[in-house]
Structure 1
Amino acid sequence: MADERELDACYEFAKKLVLDAGKVIAEAIDKDKITESKGIDWDLVTEYDRKVEDVLIKSLSNEYPTHKFIGEETVAREGRLPELTDEPTWIIDPIDGTANFVHRFPLTCISVALLLNKVTEIGIVYNPISDQLFTARRGRGAFLNGRAIATSRVKDLIQALVAMEPWIAKNEHYRANVYRRMHAVIQGTHGIRSLGTAALTLCYVAMGAVEAYHVESVDSWDVAAGKLIIEEAGGVVIDTNGGKLDLMTPRVIAACNKDMADQLVQLFKDTISISLDENLM
């Protein structure tokens, strides 16, 4: 399925489907929501996560019966992460920013990506509350509500607005790194922001609203669509250590350009060196 006309059809079908599914979220935002824990107290799921994912997967399956799917709620139900193959695969997050949704904080979105041969060909991220539709096709640019977008031209980290997610420090495994890195970012940049949704924050890097974003302890469905949107807008998405991002276990540095990404990588490496020096004192 490498035919451009087929990809065009997939893109148009998925875009309409995401816009329709967004109505479920927009209509539900002011209602009382039924929530339950996934076993981690900061990772909530609502009946609407399931409803949106079921609608997306059912409709896509009917249209493309041979395609595979990796979805947040499906993985949660099955208790395992499927292997990413070369087959056409949709990676879906029905509601990214579920905690925001539960608290009626208006930064929440649907994220849908289509991969062929493990390469993302289509990325769609939609915030139905503010009616922001971010889209990208590989090699064709990135768009917000049909208007072309581009990343910031800032190249000096000290002038950058950088997004991070401090709530990840609730996980003891990430706590020390989060605190060290946040301190370094606060001291070494123009400012820091936390939006509570990885997919939407990646899109804000793509549109130039923030220069960079760092997050770990996320999954492929948080990143797959936004990564393509950033790259098509002129930015880069790499691993925290500076190498190629592993989409299935993403440790993300997303930036408006390579200079900015490299500076963040070095900043985080410096925090490790400083920590080791302090321990030796």
Structure 2
Amino acid sequence: MFKPGVMSSLPQPIVNFMIVGAQKAGTTTLWSYLDDHPDTCMAWGREVHLFDLMDTPYVQRERLDQFYAGYFQHFNGEALRGESTPAYLFHPTALTEIRRYNPDMKLIVLLRDPIERALSHYAMERAQGHERWPLWLALVLEAPRLWWHRLTPGPRIRPMFYSYASRGLYRRQLRRVFALFRREQVLIVDSRELQEKHIETLQRVYRFLGLHEMTPEPAPRRRFVTRDKVQPGLISRLWLSLRLGRERRWYQRGRFDQL
């Protein structure tokens, strides 16, 4: 997994900042911009999925940096080492494990309209073969499916496939973040601003991380294009409005400090 000598050249803990979610909210775009910064070293392969696999024999808590070393073989003395795994924000124990690994970790959370996020999530799972039900039925079955998979043995990552509306309950997830990390360790970014005001937004990210501010290249359109579109029917629209209407209004106000 890692080359001899890599561990000895890497500071420990290796990772000192993360993009932890939300899924389908622009995490790939932000990862790519941070990967371009000369003072950051981003984990190879983008999504590492380490702290959402802590309940499996695959990961040993006392050897996390050894695990990480394989993702940083390209490290060249950069001041910051980061990774992006959007499942961490929603996973029930990942944030606790992250704090245990590095209490000083800086976290970046991206938010997107929760209903748009749910539709994009569903389309992605259909395209990847994880979802076989039509949208309206997948939404109705979401709660019992998540409940069933939490009771059955195995990695707790599997229920993540079906959490279309649940992942859009941002305030609940952010309360968990702030119960574990100081406010100054967390930056919340609106995906609309990353798309529409990407230079100003990235400068804010750089300041948060303590990086020197640079002017990024003009954003290629492909960084913001999503091909996973789906048109909800009447039942789906009603269900999403019922589940996520209040969360959408909170998101649209943009007052993310008001939880």
Q: TM-score, normalised by structure 1?
A: 0.24
Q: TM-score, normalised by structure 2?
A: 0.26
**Structure with bigger RCO (C-alpha 8 Å, 6+ apart):** 2
Greater share of strand residues, 1 or 2? 1
